């Protein structure tokens, strides 16, 4: 909960709801998104934050470049990784079983 964490936003949830509810722009946006006349709720606030976070995409790293290239040309894709990275990829794909969940382009 970054909102209440003292190292991050350091605010109370009621305080945040009060601030957001006092802003006419946020009132309009929440009404449009949730089709409600009632005050902005903690549930709707959490849902809005999650929806926003889903739009954020990290920069493409070497692994993502490799995976994307591997779908087009697997042999050429190996040139993107060093020998150590290829050994790590082998571990990732076999014994460590990471690719059971982490596979394909994002």
With a threshold of 0.75, does the pTM exceed it?
Answer: no
pLDDT single digits (tens) 16-74: 999 999 999 999 999 999 887 778 999 999 999 999 999 988 888 888 888 888 889 98
- Coarse DSSP helix, strand, coil percentages of the chain, rounded to the nearest 5 percent: 65, 0, 35
Residue 102's pLDDT is what? 75
């Amino acid at each position: 909960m970054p909102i209440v964490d003292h190292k991050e936003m350091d605010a109370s949830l009621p305080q945040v709801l009060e601030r957001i509810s006092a802003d006419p722009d946020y009132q309009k946006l929440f009404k449009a998104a949730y089709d409600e006349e009632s005050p902005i709720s903690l549930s709707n606030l959490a849902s809005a934050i999650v929806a926003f976070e889903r739009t954020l995409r990290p920069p493409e790293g070497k692994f993502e470049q490799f995976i994307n290239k591997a779908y087009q040309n697997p042999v050429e894709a190996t040139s993107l990784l060093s020998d150590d990275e290829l050994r790590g990829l082998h571990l990732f794909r076999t014994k460590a079983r990471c690719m059971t969940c982490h596979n394909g382009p994002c």
